[in-house]
Every structure is written in structure tokens, then in C-alpha cells.
Amino acid sequence: MDTLEQFVEKFSNAVDFQTDVVLTGDTNLKALPEWDSLAALGVIIMFDMEYNKAITGKDLVVCQTVADVYKLVA
């Protein structure tokens, strides 16, 4: 399993931020300027491709931080 730091890098690539964003596990998703349905779809696809795990938008809605999303990997 990836470390949180490795996950954060994959998360950043999946969201494909257009501006430089510093991400940590404590980063609040709602504070991210590009956190929208398209970004969530990128994360859902990343989970499928990288972790062979299916998650849904409903799973992501309850997440408040990047670390909360990381916990979905387990």
C-alpha cells in the first residue's frame, strides 16, 4: 500500500490541477479551487487504475480532507 505522501502525489495527478497547489493529508478538499465533479471523477478513475478499488461520488462526498480520501484505499 502507498504511503500518504505517495497517495497525495497520485491524487494531485488525478485531479490535474491547473495552478500550483501544495497538498498534504490535512488539505481540506473544499478549499481546493479545482475540486469539482470532474476532479472527483479523476480520483474515482485513479482508485480503479492504481488500487483496483471501486469508489463512488457518495464515498467522496463524506471526505473532508485528502487523508480522508486516502483512508478509502484500505
Tens of pLDDT, residues 18-55: 888 899 999 999 999 899 999 999 999 999 999 999 99
Q: Average pLDDT of 51-65?
A: 97
Predicted local distance difference test score (pLDDT) of residue 39: 95
CB-CB contact of 56 with 40 (8 Å): no
Q: Quick one: which of 35, 39, 8 has its CA closest to 24?
A: 8
**Helix, strand, coil % over all residues of the chain, rounded to 5:** 55, 5, 40
Q: What's the CATH code of the domain at 43? A: 1.10.1200.10
Cα(first)–Cα(last) distance of the chain, in Å? Answer: 8
For residue 8, with 0-12 CB atoms within 10 Å meaning exposed, 13-18 middle and 19 or more buried, which class applies?
A: buried
Number of domains comprising the chain: 1
Q: Which domain holds residue 39?
A: 4-71
Predicted local distance difference test score (pLDDT) of residue 19: 86
Report the predicted TM-score, pTM, of the whole model to 2 decimal places: 0.93
Q: Average pLDDT of 50-71?
A: 97
